[in-house]
Amino acid sequence: MTTALTQTVGLTRPKTTRFNANPIIRIVLMLLALSAMSGLAIITLFIFKEGVPIIAKVGFRHFLFSSNWYPLEGEFGIFSMIMGSLAVTAGAMVVGMVFGLGCAILLTQFCPPRWVSIIKPAIELLAGIPSVVYGFIGVAILVPFIRDYLGGPGLSVLASSIVLGVMTLPTITSISVDALQAVPRTYGEGSIALGATEWQTTYMVILKAARSGIVAAVILGMGRAIGETMAVIMVAGNTLDVPHSILDPVRTLTSNIALEMGYAAGDHRKALFATGVTLFVIIMILNTIALTVSRRRSKGKVLAK
Amino acid sequence: MRISPKHSQRIAVTVMWAIAGLTLAVLAFIISYILWHGLRHITWTFLTEPPQSMGREGGVLPMIVGTLWVTGLAVLIAAPVGIAAAIYLTEYTREGRMTAIIRFGADCLAGIPSIIFGLFGFVFFVITLGMGFSILSGALTLALMVLPTIIRTSEEAIRAVPKSYRDVSFGLGSTRWQMVTWVVLRSALPGICTGVVLSIGRSISETAAVMLTAGSAMGFPHSIFESSRTLSLHFYILSREGISMSNAYATASVLILSILGINLFAYWLMRRFVAKAV
């Protein structure tokens, strides 16, 4: 269109033999855009290169399903940590879902705009607080409370679940809010017109329509919880047993890496990388599920943060 | 007994307000608890002196400098790359296999936990590239970590620029690159800055990744090739090893205050951006 216009008006660009930089700019930008993908590739490569040989040496089964972690004797079994991570994540999801979804539904359906402009930034701020501060508050307040009123050592699955639940709440809320807002307004209006109350509309129509986005939100929250490190180290107790109750202390995959990386060497260090490989695989599976679930509905749309 | 729809509506709304109220209360409690215990220990000497006897006494100046170096360098590396990626995605290509690959990479990178970044930074930057525990290793690791955030927020900001701006720019005879730099980037700037500012916040709070890459040396860093302990790691070590509670609270207060400032700034930028777009 532009060329047509310039031709009719009789204005053409001066015909200097200027060097056309456009293709070069395009290629440079494309290479920079591929940096994230190449970063991902190189991370995968190096983590696997360090971790996989030791898994092969110990034996895949033994590594995953043995609870014996005695680095000095060359015993590397991470079963108790896998169970620890799962227990803590499951607990965190209960807390994160109730609070995260509750906030998301309130923000999109029932909240007057003036309050939205207070609650939303507050939840974003919650995401900005350093994880060490969460861990610290957990140790200072939550752990003594659990020890005194519920029994056990206090450092426990329960304490970690609550701390992680609060930490994953912003992720779950912000993605669910996007999913709920993407539901066409006519759906809700139709339901109201049929005589349903706002709450009936919300849980029968809107939540159902936004289901896939909410599932994605919860799965991404799960990834956050399972990958969190510093806060969990501080409140989980880090013992090497499979937990039997929510008041038992546990060690997660992440805290195992962070706790022992400082002094590990040789096979021990490699085994920590192998722990990282396990974590990496779990996270990638969760991410892929979340991406496919949310892409299936909104094809071509970018997954919101 | 059946609860009438009207009642269940009232109950549901009450429960959700309670949930939101509790969430806000948790936030307010965390911030006020830290500041209440920490603010009175923040003195001029605390901010301007190096720590003594493992942090039991003295201040946190080297940690503040170290944090600024690591964070600043990380964002300085990640921002140009991330913004370039966003420009490519929005202005230089159509949706297709290439954009799908780029988005997949960014989305996956965003989901990777910080401890994995730490492990990677340790084996790649610290050992393989021979940078050792240093500010540079930490900054490169963090740059990779915040890259997806910057790509995504910049992309959203650039997409929000009205198409008519681009048409007018082309109509005046500009090249694509002139259009991008003079028109699109200029009006998307507040939005892009919001993403960058939030990445600064994320880098400041990060602990696990810098622990394995920047190390925990307490000395004053003189170059980016030296190891330096960041504020968040200093706080972690002080509180976990019970070295000094008053200094731990004070360090946490410095952290919380900077995060508060950064978030307020980002919020202000965002509002300006939204006000301009409408």
- pLDDT higher than 50, residue A232: yes
Residue B200 domain-assigned (yes or no)? yes
Residues B33 and B77 in one domain: no
Residue B247 lies in a domain: no
Structure tokens at A237: 């107790």
A145 touches chain B (CB under 8 A): no
On whether both B79 and B37 belong to a single domain, the answer is: no
Residue B243 confidence (pLDDT): 85
For residue range A29-83, list pLDDT tens digits in order: 999 999 999 999 999 999 999 999 999 998 889 899 988 899 888 889 999 999 9
Do B22 and B77 fall within a single domain?
no
**What CATH number was assigned to the domain covering residues A58-297?**
1.10.3720.10
Inside any domain, residue B18: yes
- One-letter amino acid at A200 equals Q
Instruction: Say whether both B126 and B209 belong to one domain.
Output: yes
A to B CB pairs, distance under 8 Å: 273
Least reliable range by pLDDT among A20-34, A287-301, B142-156? A287-301
Which pLDDT does position A303 carry in this prediction?
39
pLDDT of residue B144: 95
Token pair recorded at residue B154: 């910049």
User: Do B126 and B258 fall within a single domain?
Assistant: yes
How many independent structural domains does chain B possess?
2
pLDDT band at A299 (very low <50, low <70, confident <90, very high): very low
**Residue A111 phi, psi dihedral angles, 5° rounding:** -95, 130
User: Within a domain: residue B259?
Assistant: yes
Q: What is the 3-state secondary structure (H, E, C) of A241-304?
A: CCCCCCCCCECCHHHHHHHHCCCCCHHHHHHHHHHHHHHHHHHHHHHHHHHHHHHHHCCCCCCC
Q: Are residues B129 and B266 in the same domain?
A: yes
Kindly report the three-state secondary structure assignment for every residue of B24-66: HHHHHHHHHHHHHHHHHHCCHHHHHCCEEHHHCEECCHHHHHH
Work out the average pLDDT over A174-195.
91
Check B8 against A26: CB less than 8 A apart. Answer: no
Q: Which residues of A touch B108 (CB under 8 A)?
A: 40, 284, 287
Range of the domain at B17: 5-41
Mean local confidence (pLDDT), A170-195: 92
Report the percent of chain A where pLDDT is more than 90.
Answer: 62
Q: Are residues B77 and B179 in the same domain?
A: yes
Give the β-pairing of A75-76 and B57-58: unpaired
Q: Which helix (H) or strand (E) holds A159?
A: helix A157-181
The secondary element (H helix, E strand) that includes residue A76 is: strand A75-76
Q: Does the CB of A134 have a partner CB in chain B at under 8 Å?
A: yes
The closest CB to that of B239, out of A47, A136, A272, belongs to A136
Pair A241, A248: CB distance under 8 Å: yes
Closest CA to A94 of A25, A160, A187, A179: A160
Asked if B255 and A287 come within 8 Å (Cβ–Cβ), the reply is no
Mean pLDDT of chain A: 88
Tell me the CATH number at B129. 1.10.3720.10
Q: Are residues B124 and B76 in the same domain?
A: yes
Q: pLDDT at residue A219 above 80?
A: yes
Task: Give the pLDDT of residue B54.
Answer: 79
Residue A169 confidence (pLDDT) = 95
Mark yes or no for CB contact A137/B15 under 8 Å: no
Overall average pLDDT of the A241-259 stretch: 91
pLDDT averaged over consecutive 10-residue blocks of chain B (278 residues)? 82 92 94 93 87 83 93 95 94 87 90 94 93 94 95 92 91 90 89 91 92 88 89 92 88 93 88 66
Q: Alpha-carbon distance B142 to B123, whole Å?
A: 15
DSSP B179: I
Residue A19 reports pLDDT greater than 80 = no
In angstroms, rounded to a whole number, what is the distance separating the alpha carbons of residues A52 and A195?
60
Residues B87 and B169 grouped into a single domain: yes
Residue A300 binned pLDDT confidence (cut-offs 50, 70, 90) = very low
Cα–Cα distance, A239 to B106 (Å, whole number): 35
Q: Are the beta carbons of B205 and B111 closer than 8 angstroms?
A: no
Do B24 and B77 lie in one domain? The reply is no
